[in-house]
Structure formats: structure tokens, C-alpha cells
């Protein structure tokens, strides 16, 4: 992302270089709130029409944007209903540019683009950008934050940002033979967690960690010296002893209408149940559904002993499932129904029958696309106590990708998706949907890598999970709560889930200053519950 100079499709594109960046990051458990001020200068001798482009990473949303110059000011509007930024005046001429930038971006998500008018020669443009983002959880429990390349452009990113603009980006940036960045960066981070902040690690120099609360629940750290010029800035934040559930409450905006998403109290719930390792030899649960495209059906038209590397990998995956689980196979592009009406228990006889049925799968009428198979799966009830996981093999980008994305996201709390992509054009879609369902996706570039990926995903899929997750709330009379986006049916070992809840109404008894939430789930047939209190009158910094 950067300023792009020139009218799209009319004159060549180039860039306005970044002069300085001030970035303030506030991390609460596994959510980051980033406020940045970026100053750009048009160092050419003529005025230009300018655009600002910002690729959105996974689980990221911009909530404030403003750009000011001597000649103009652009303020973006945050619309509650659409939950997205819209320009005050839409510029439809930029739609083709936005689609192009999204295709060229290394991120699978959206690209925020805003037209900023003209920038005179030698003049500056000050951009204020604020966004929130859910952070990934490392295997050791750390929250991982990466500063986007728009806020820290460096030699690697200028070459990768947008392929067709590589030459102009490099020319407009700096001589890459030198290691000094052509702009200044001031980066500060405030850290907060009810569990306490234990430690911070980074791939760049940091000031010493300073605690700002006696219970070590808040701390601050900053960039020390000059930032590196060769790689992204990455922070790993370690919190105190993990708990099954934690709660952070945020005040509503006093200027927003009462009862609106922005005006009400919002509750961030982090669910991270402690799940022990599975006992060796114990019967394992799980429902494993395989969706195969036409490529694999062609492999299955010959005896199983003759399957090539891809077929061998699938056969290995099927034969490695544990006793006690359930499975089914869908051969989309030929039929939208499974080889069994619903998942069956995994036994040697059922597996051999399934492999035989794959070879005789015939084309059927109706919707035989991946979307049709997904809809058929979502209509089929899963076996009680068995977490549903889909293994999807894709050999190209489906024409109905938007409908597929909507269908998967609508059911994201009911399953995980693991994608095996054999063409680059479907990798971005697979990555996005895997992220939404807390699964994984990979582009398989060679046959030799297939077995490695299969082993890795199978290991993740066989991890034990907490099942039947539910939340109950105790609030003063006059208040009720709505969980936004639903509750996941399962949480697997090593994973966490972030939930958001909106508190509506007005408390009749203002002396009650706390609410109570109880988490319940089942683990290995045992019912477990955790109860936590949270404030109803939180103190906030106005962000």
C-alpha cells in the first residue's frame, strides 16, 4: 500500500514516498487497535491526482480514516449498518483500480482505496488511519502482531506490493543498495490482559518493558533506534497463566445512537479451554468429510494400486483415520451427494466400500458444484459428540466463489476446513475460508510436497476438542446480551476463539456494577464450567 500517482487507465502510475510514520498499537489479549499518522510528500515538480491504497489483512477492519493537505481534506464515514468504511462520495472510476490492486495484493482480503484529489508539487499529505485486527495465537500461546507494510515499507515489500508497479515503487522509494530507510518511524505499544503481561519479544530492538499497573495487567514498550530495512516488524506478546475464559469490556461511543453497535457496551470474550493430549489407544471422535474434484475422480477410474502421487496421498489420509470416528466422501463436479447418505463409522469394511464407490460415481442432474456439495453437507446432521472437519481438494477457482464464501462463513461455527489447492488462482479463496473456520490451506506446487502437507493437516485434525460450547449470562434487570456471529460448536487443542457480545438496554439497578458469564463445554464426556465476573462500567481511553 502507498499513495498511487496518476489517473487510473489514463497516465502511468507511480508513488509518493513516505516521509514519516507515527504508530501507536494497543493490544488487548488477541486484539490489536492501531492508530497511525503517515506523512507523504510529492517530490515531483508537478501536481498529481492521488489515491491511497491499504490492503486489509485477515480479520482486520478500518474504523477511522482522514487525509489532509493544504488544498483538501478527505474524511471517511464509519457506517454502523454496513460495518464498513464508505467514502462520503463514491468514485466509481476507481472500482477497476480497486479490483486490480486486490488481485495484485499478497493479502487474500479486501483492499481499501480512497481518492484524495490533487497534491501540489512539493506539498505534503497527512493521513490518519486507524484499524482493529484479531491476532493469531502462536503454539506457545503468544499473540502475534505484524506491522502492515503500508506503515513500514521496506526493500522486500516495495518489490512485492503490486507486481506491475514494481519498477515505479523502487524508483520512488530509495536506492535499495543502501540499508537506511528514507523515512522516520516512531512505534509505541501498550499491552493489556486480565491475566497479566509476562513478556514481549520482537525481531527488532525494543525499549525495556515498563509495567503501568501493580498487577502487571498493563505495560508499555517502544521501538528502540532505527527500524530494520529488510523485513516486517513483528511483536510476540506473552500473557500470564492461560485461563479457559477471559473478558474485556469496552464503552460505547457517547455520540452514537443508544442501542446501536457503536453506542452499546461491547464485550470481548476469549475462549481458550485447557485440553489435554489424547490418550494413546483411546477411541477418538470426529467427523471427517472429504470433497474431491474431478481430478481425483479421474484418478479413481483405475485400480487403487495405480493411483498417482495425489491419489496415494488421499488414500494415505483415508487409511490414517482413527477407529471410532465418522467419515464420508463427496465427489463434487459429478454429484452433490455423498457416497453415503450421511457419515458412517470408520471401519475397514466401510473404508474399502467407500473406495470402491468412488470408482463408480456417475454424473447426476442438479447442482454438482462445490457449492452444491457444501449445501448438502450443511443440511446433514453431524454425529453427536463428533466435531466436523472438511478436507477440500481444489484444482481451480470456482465461478461462484462469492456464494461459496458466503455459505462457508454462514456455517463457520459448525466446522473446520482444510484446503489442498493445486492451482494458484484458488489459493486466496481457500486461505480466507480456512482462516474463517480456524482451519488451514496450502497450495501444493509439487507431488513430493503432498504427503508432507497431508501428514501436517492430519495431525492437526486429530487433536482433541472441547464440544458443546455454551455461554450463560447474569446481568441486572433491564440489560440483555446478544452474541454477535454465534458461538463455535468446538474448540480444538491449541486454539482459541474470540467472541463479541453487545449489551443492550438500561440497568434498573445502577448499584450493580458487575455482570457474570459462565462458560460450559464437554471434554471426554465430562461437563466442565468456568464462571467469570466483568465490569459493567469500564474505564476507557476513548479509542
Share of residues in the chain with pLDDT > 90 (%) = 34
CB 490 within 8 A of CB 387: yes
pLDDT band at residue 8 using 50, 70 and 90 as cut-offs: very low
Judged against a pLDDT cut of 80, whether residue 158 lies above it is answered with: no
pLDDT at position 315: 79
Taking the CA atoms of 498, 537, 516 and 259 in sequence, report the sign of the dihedral they define.
negative
pLDDT in tens, 21-47: 999 999 998 999 999 999 988 888 888
Instruction: Compute how many other C-beta atoms are within 10 angstroms of the C-beta atom of residue 542.
Output: 6
Judged against a pLDDT cut of 80, whether residue 341 lies above it is answered with: yes
Which residue ranges form the domains of the chain, and what is each CATH number? Answer: 18-239 (2.60.40.1730), 245-278+466-535 (2.60.40.1230), 287-460 (3.40.50.410)
For residues 363-374, average pLDDT: 72
Judged against a pLDDT cut of 80, whether residue 152 lies above it is answered with: no
pLDDT at position 538: 79
pLDDT in tens, 237-266: 999 877 788 888 888 888 888 888 888 999
* Separation CA 502–CA 518 (nearest Å): 16
pLDDT band at residue 14 using 50, 70 and 90 as cut-offs: low
> Which three three-digit cell numbers place residue 182?
528514507
Which residue has cell 452433490? 336
pLDDT at position 523: 87
* Category of 213 on φ-ψ map: left (φ > 0), alpha (ψ -120 to 50) or beta: beta
pLDDT in tens, 503-522: 999 888 888 889 999 999 99
pLDDT at position 369: 85
What contacts 46, CB < 8 A, 6 or more positions away? 121
Which residue has cell 518493558? 209
Virtual CA dihedral for 306, 308, 314, 315, nearest 10 degrees? 20
pLDDT at position 3: 45
Share of residues in the chain with pLDDT > 70 (%) = 79
Judged against a pLDDT cut of 90, whether residue 327 lies above it is answered with: yes
What contacts 130, CB < 8 A, 6 or more positions away? 33, 34, 35, 36, 62, 63, 64, 65, 543
Amino acid at each position: 500500500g502507498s499513495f498511487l500517482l496518476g489517473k487510473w487507465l489514463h497516465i502511468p502510475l507511480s508513488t509518493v514516498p513516505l516521509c514519516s510514520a507515527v504508530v501507536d498499537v494497543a493490544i488487548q489479549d488477541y486484539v490489536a487497535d492501531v492508530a497511525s499518522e503517515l506523512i507523504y510528500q510529492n517530490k515531483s515538480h508537478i501536481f498529481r491526482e492521488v489515491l491511497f491504497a491499504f490492503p486489509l489483512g485477515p480479520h482486520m477492519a478500518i474504523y477511522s480514516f482522514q487525509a489532509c493537505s493544504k488544498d483538501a481534506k478527505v474524511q471517511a464515514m464509519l457506517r454502523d449498518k454496513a460495518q464498513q468504511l464508505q467514502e462520503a462520495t463514491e468514485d466509481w472510476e476507481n472500482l477497476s483500480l480497486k479490483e486490480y490492486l486486490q488481485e495484485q495484493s499478497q493479502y487474500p482480503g479486501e483492499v481499501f482505496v480512497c481518492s484524495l484529489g490533487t497534491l501540489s508539487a512539493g506539498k505534503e499529505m497527512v493521513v490518519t488511519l486507524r484499524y482493529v485486527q484479531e491476532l493469531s495465537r502462536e503454539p506457545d500461546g503468544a499473540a502475534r502482531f505484524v506491522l502492515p507494510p503500508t506503515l513500514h515499507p521496506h526493500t522486500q515489500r516495495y518489490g512485492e506490493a503490486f507486481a506491475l508497479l514494481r519498477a515505479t515503487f523502487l524508483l520512488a522509494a530509495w536506492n535499495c543498495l543502501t540499508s537506511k530507510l528514507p523515512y522516520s518511524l516512531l512505534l509505541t505499544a501498550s499491552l493489556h490482559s486480565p491475566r497479566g503481561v509476562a513478556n514481549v519479544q520482537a525481531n527488532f530492538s525494543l525499549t525495556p518493558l515498563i509495567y503501568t499497573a501493580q498487577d502487571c495487567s498493563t505495560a508499555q514498550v517502544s521501538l528502540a533506534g532505527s527500524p530494520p530495512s529488510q523485513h516486517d516488524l513483528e511483536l510476540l506478546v506473552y500473557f500470564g497463566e492461560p485461563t479457559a475464559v477471559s473478558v474485556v469490556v469496552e464503552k460505547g461511543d457517547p455520540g452514537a445512537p443508544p442501542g446501536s453497535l457503536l453506542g452499546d457496551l461491547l464485550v470481548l470474550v476469549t475462549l481458550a479451554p485447557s485440553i489435554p493430549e489424547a490418550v494413546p489407544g483411546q477411541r477418538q471422535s470426529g467427523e471427517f468429510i472429504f470433497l474431491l474434484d474431478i481430478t481425483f475422480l479421474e484418478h479413481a477410474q483405475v485400480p487403487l494400486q495405480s493411483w498417482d502421487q495425489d491419489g496415494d496421498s488421499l488414500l494415505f489420509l483415508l487409511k490414517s483415520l482413527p477407529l471410532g470416528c465418522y467419515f464420508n466422501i463427496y465427489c463434487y463436479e459429478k454429484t452433490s451427494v455423498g457416497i453415503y447418505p450421511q457419515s458412517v463409522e470408520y471401519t475397514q469394511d466401510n473404508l474399502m466400500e467407500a473406495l470402491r464407490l468412488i470408482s463408480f460415481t456417475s454424473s447426476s442432474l442438479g447442482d454438482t458444484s462445490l457449492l452444491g456439495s457444501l449445501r448438502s453437507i450443511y443440511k446433514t446432521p453431524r454425529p453427536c459428540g463428533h466435531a466436523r472437519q472438511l478436507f477440500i481438494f481444489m484444482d481451480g477457482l470456482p465461478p461462484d466463489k462469492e456464494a461459496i464464501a458466503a455459505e462457508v462463513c454462514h456455517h463457520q461455527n459448525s466446522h473446520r476446513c482444510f484446503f489442498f489447492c493445486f492451482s494458484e488462482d484458488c489459493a486466496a479463496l481457500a486461505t480466507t475460508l480456512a482462516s474463517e473456520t480456524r482451519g488451514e490451506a496450502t497450495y501444493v506446487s509439487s507431488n513430493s510436497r503432498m504427503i508432507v502437507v497431508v501428514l501436517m493437516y492430519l495431525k492437526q485434525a486429530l487433536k482433541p476438542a472441547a464440544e458443546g460450547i455454551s455461554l450463560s449470562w447474569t446481568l441486572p434487570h433491564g440489560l440483555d446480551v446478544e452474541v454477535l456471529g454465534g458461538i463455535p460448536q468446538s474448540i480444538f487443542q491449541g486454539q482459541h476463539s474470540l467472541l463479541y457480545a453487545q449489551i443492550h438496554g438500561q440497568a434498573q439497578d445502577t448499584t450493580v456494577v458487575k455482570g457474570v458469564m459462565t462458560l460450559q463445554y464437554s471434554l471426554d464426556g465430562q461437563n466442565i464450567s468456568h464462571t467469570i465476573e466483568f465490569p459493567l462500567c469500564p474505564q476507557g481511553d476513548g479509542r
